[in-house]
């Protein structure tokens, strides 16, 4: 129960953070979750909370939502759901934290990786890629925000429209994990708390977005994410005895 309460509070803070800045909160949350729950449950539980967080953020900012590019994004997301929903069946879910850690390091520090994924500026392709990444690593990163920023100057439009798009991504992810038989009911208490906190965080963040600036976050966020990523990777290597196997080679 203590773990559940701590995760719910973390969800409140990260949901509010994303509602203010548009990015960062979901990645911090999924970086924390493997320390509080089984690895196989991280992505599906994260999917529920992030769907609620993004859907509520889009609702609270609905007057700023622009649907011009949304339908193209939705089409691509459906394609990603089909393709990556099949591929996930061949992955050992206990390794998901390793994928998350590597992905966080790449998107935080690799210019080449970011340049590669940012070449995909068609919204249907962005939807496809983000849904695919979401299925495997939970949080697909701010690719849609980067593309939206090229089309809209208003930050409120970018954040609210981006939230609607990410709600689609996380809903698609839930469909995948339902299809592979994940038992969401086993985590109903945690899910209820996190849904409430995600919604509250979205409401608080939407209100604060007009009043406070979070530019300082861009400075410290990479280092927070890096520490989380390294801890995730080391944890998986220890769990599977990779270090011991390497030592035996020498």
Secondary structure class of 121 (helix, strand, coil) = coil
Give me the mean pLDDT over the 215-237 stretch. Answer: 78
Contact 20, 160 (CB under 8 A): no
Beta strands in 22-157 (DSSP E): none
Query: Of the given ranges (69-83, 100-114, 179-193), which has the lowest mean pLDDT?
Result: 100-114
Query: Of the given ranges (43-57, 84-98, 148-162, 172-186), which has the lowest mean pLDDT?
Result: 84-98
**pLDDT above 90 for 203:** no
Q: How far is CA 132 from the centre of its chain?
A: 12
**Torsion sign across C-alpha atoms 77, 79, 83, 89:** positive
pTM of the model: 0.75
Sequence spans of domains, the chain: 2-249
| Exposed / middle / buried, residue 173 (Cβ in 10 Å: 0-12, 13-18, 19+) | buried
**pLDDT above 80 for 26:** no
Q: What is the DSSP letter of 216?
A: T
């Amino acid at each position: 129960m203590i773990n559940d309460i701590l995760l719910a509070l973390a969800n409140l803070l990260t949901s509010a953070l994303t509602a203010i800045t548009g990015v960062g909160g979901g990645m911090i949350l999924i970086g924390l979750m493997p320390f509080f729950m089984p690895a196989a449950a991280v992505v599906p539980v994260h999917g529920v909370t992030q769907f609620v967080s993004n859907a509520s953020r889009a609702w609270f900012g609905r007057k700023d939502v622009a649907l011009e590019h949304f339908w193209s994004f939705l089409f691509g997301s459906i394609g990603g759901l089909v393709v990556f929903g099949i591929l996930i069946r061949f992955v050992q879910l206990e390794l998901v934290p390793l994928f998350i850690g590597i992905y966080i390091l790449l998107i935080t520090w690799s210019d080449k990786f970011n340049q590669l994924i940012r070449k995909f500026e068609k919204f249907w392709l962005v939807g496809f890629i983000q849904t695919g990444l979401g299925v495997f690593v939970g949080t697909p990163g701010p690719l849609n925000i980067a593309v939206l920023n090229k089309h809209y100057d208003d930050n409120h439009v970018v954040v609210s429209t981006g939230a609607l798009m990410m709600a689609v991504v996380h809903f698609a992810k839930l469909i995948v994990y339902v299809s592979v038989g994940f038992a969401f009911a086993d985590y109903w208490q945690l899910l209820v708390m996190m849904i409430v906190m995600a919604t509250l965080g979205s409401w608080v963040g939407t209100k604060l977005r007009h009043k406070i600036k979070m530019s300082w976050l861009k400075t410290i966020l990479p280092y927070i994410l890096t520490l989380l990523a390294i801890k995730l990777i080391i944890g998986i290597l220890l769990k599977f005895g990779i270090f011991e196997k390497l030592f035996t080679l020498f």
